[in-house]
């Protein structure tokens, strides 16, 4: 997708609400880590897809360890009309607390992948702060946000479907994805952030993303860079994060972000983040 030189690039909003969404940070990310159209775009933590939707890559590998998330994207990619029909039916229902938990129960028990993707989206829009959180038994455990109606955004769905055409989607952890990365790739990582405080939300699949995980991720990015890949990673602006990346010769860029998704309403505030880049 080409725009005349000097034209401000549009910002496309994702369908899903997601912790740490990057839409508002895209002008900064585009400037510091511009996409090379000759490379394959790789994201091991696809999340809401906000970055992918706004770099206009035509060749990409998108992965995540959350199979429910990847299943959602695969449904939009291959069964869009069936998804629309089912989500439209749900949008005609008036929800209360028991109705919301019936959706959650169906989501956790259905074996129909298309239905599961529809319920995943519905729950994302109807749960507290749009969190995607599971307990250690892999059960979704975010409460209702007291919203009575589901309001699907079909223009966003259409754009997401358009962008996913021909894109590779894989359920995999970051290590599997990065070990397979080549020297022709451009890799962007948006992992669960290093904690700023004790109640910071860093669990997305029932497991803590620890400092050991962050260190392993940084080492894999360095290895991919040695093979020729361009790499960048976002994280919280903490002493541990800065030292982790500077010790590996990443260039640190700082920016301020307003976080409106979190484990509590008190987490909605402006915070300093970093974008660490190896080129």
**Residue 6 confidence (pLDDT) above 50:** no
205 falls in which pLDDT band (50, 70, 90)? low
116 falls in which pLDDT band (50, 70, 90)? very high
Q: Is the separation of the CB atoms in 120 and 68 below 8 Å?
A: yes
Report the alpha-carbon distance of residue 19 to residue 263 in Å, rounded.
9
DSSP state of 127: B
Count of C-beta atoms within a 10 Å radius of residue 8: 7
Average pLDDT value for residue range 12-37: 94
Q: What is the pLDDT of residues 231-275, one digit of tens each?
A: 999 999 999 999 999 999 999 999 988 765 455 555 567 889 999
Query: What's the confidence (pLDDT) of residue 8?
Result: 59
Which parts are annotated binding residues? 18, 22, 64, 190
Three-state DSSP class for 63? Answer: strand
Q: What is the pLDDT of residues 151-201, one digit of tens each?
A: 999 999 999 999 999 999 999 999 999 999 999 999 999 999 998 765 555
Overall size of the chain counted in residues = 279
Query: What's the confidence (pLDDT) of residue 21?
Result: 85
C-alpha 12 chain-centroid distance:
14
Which parts are annotated binding residues for S-adenosyl-L-methionine? 18, 22, 64, 190
Residues of the chain with CATH 3.40.50.150: 23-65+172-278
Three-state DSSP class for 139? Answer: coil
Average pLDDT value for residue range 123-146: 93
Query: What's the confidence (pLDDT) of residue 208?
Result: 81
**Residue 29 confidence (pLDDT) above 70:** yes
Fold of 71-155: Adenine-specific Methyltransferase; domain 2 (1.10.1020)
Query: What's the confidence (pLDDT) of residue 49?
Result: 98
Q: What is the pLDDT of residues 40-97, one digit of tens each?
A: 999 999 999 999 999 999 999 999 999 999 999 999 999 999 999 999 999 999 999 9
**Quick one: 23-65+172-278 is in which CATH superfamily?**
Vaccinia Virus protein VP39 (3.40.50.150)
Closest CA to 178 of 127, 209, 217, 130: 217
Give the E-state strand segments of 22-146 in sequence order. 40-43, 60-64
Q: What's the Rg (C-alpha) of the chain?
A: 18
């Amino acid at each position: 997708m080409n725009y005349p030189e000097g034209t401000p690039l549009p910002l496309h909003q994702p369908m899903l609400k997601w912790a740490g969404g990057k839409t508002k940070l895209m002008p900064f990310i585009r400037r510091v880590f511009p996409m090379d159209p000759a490379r394959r775009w790789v994201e091991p933590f696809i999340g809401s897809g906000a970055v992918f939707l706004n770099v206009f890559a035509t060749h990409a590998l998108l992965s995540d360890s959350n199979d429910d998330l990847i299943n959602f994207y695969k449904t939009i990619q291959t069964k869009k009309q069936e998804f629309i029909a089912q989500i439209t039916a749900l949008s005609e229902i008036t929800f209360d607390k028991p109705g919301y938990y019936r959706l959650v129960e169906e989501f956790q028990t259905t074996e129909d992948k298309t239905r599961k993707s529809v319920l995943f989206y519905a729950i994302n829009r109807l749960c507290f702060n749009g969190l995607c959180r599971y307990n250690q038994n892999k059960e979704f455990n975010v409460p209702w946000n007291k919203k009575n109606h589901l309001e699907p955004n079909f223009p966003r769905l259409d754009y997401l479907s358009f962008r996913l055409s021909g894109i590779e989607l894989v359920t995999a952890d970051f290590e599997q994805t990065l070990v397979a990365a080549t020297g022709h790739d451009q890799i962007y990582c948006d992992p669960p952030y290093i904690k700023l405080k004790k109640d910071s939300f860093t669990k997305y699949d029932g497991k803590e993303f620890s400092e050991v995980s962050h260190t392993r991720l940084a080492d894999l990015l360095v290895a991919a860079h040695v093979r020729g890949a361009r790499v960048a990673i976002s994280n919280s602006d903490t002493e541990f994060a800065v030292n982790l990346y500077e010790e590996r010769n990443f260039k640190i860029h700082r920016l301020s972000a307003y976080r409106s998704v979190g484990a509590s309403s008190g987490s909605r505030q402006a915070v300093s983040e970093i974008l660490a880049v190896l080129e």
